[in-house]
Structure 1
Amino acid sequence: MTIQAINVRNQFKGKIKAIIEGIVVSEVDVETPAGIVTSVITTRSVKDLGLVIGTEVVALVKATEVSIAKI
């Protein structure tokens, strides 16, 4: 599969470092030059995409809301 065009500006290339698989959803940690990006996706998508530790991926980040709390 080749991505021709996408409207997401925050793209981080990296490799999957860890997968915590659940029954319905899984956490996927992607190690990027900017740090670890964690995505929660369906376990079905993990299997359909053939994601395993070491797979090269692109994390696409599009946030509709960012919250900040004072420490």
Structure 2
Amino acid sequence: MKVSARNAFPGKILEIKKGATTAHVVLDVQGLKVTASITNEAVDDLNLKVGDEATAIVKASDVLVAVK
């Protein structure tokens, strides 16, 4: 699969929390937890399961940095 996004981070699925329509999929990317909000239908279509390898693809126009 090829995508135009430059920020692709391979990891492993730690958790899948399904809600009424949206699921939160948590990936372990080199010790960092990355959470994606996707539809329940997408979780089913991709046959996602805890322990599967997956890639977090980040496509964003802004990245914010905050300090205390």
TM-score (normalizing by structure 2): 0.87
Q: Is residue 2:10 matched to residue 1:16?
A: no
Q: Who is 1:65 aligned against?
A: 62
After superposition, give the CA deviation of every residue in 1:15-69 in whole Å (9 maximum; x if it has no partner): 1000111110010000011611100000110011100100111110111223344
Structure 1: runs of 5+ lacking an equivalent: none
Q: Secondary structure at the match of 1:51?
A: coil
Aligned residues: 68
RMSD: 1.4
Q: 1:39 aligns with which of 26, 36, 40?
A: 36
For structure 2, list consecutive stretches of 5 or more residues without a partner in the other structure.
none
